[in-house]
Copies of this chain bind each other. A is one copy, B any other.
Amino acid sequence: MINQLIKTLKFNEAGLIPAIAQDATSKDVLMLAWMNQQALQKTLETGQVYYYSRSRQALWRKGESSGHTQELVELRYDCDADAILLLIKQIGPACHTNRPNCFFNALRDGKNLIIDNPIA
Contacts and interface: CB of A to CB of B under 8 A. Distances in A.
A45 interface: no
A79 B107 contact: no
> This chain: how many copies in the complex?
2
Interface in A1-24: 1, 4-5, 8, 18, 20, 22
A22 B18 contact: no
Contact of A31 (B74, B78, B103): B78
Nearest to A97: B79
Interface residues of A, number: 39
Given A22-B29, A29-B22, A108-B74, A96 B79 contact: yes
Contact of A29 (B20, B99, B111): B20
Nearest to A2: B107
Interface in A23-81: 26-29, 31-32, 44, 74-81
Contacts of A81: 105
A91 interface: no
Interface of A: 1, 4-5, 8, 18, 20, 22, 26-29, 31-32, 44, 74-81, 83, 85, 95-97, 99, 102-108, 110-112, 115
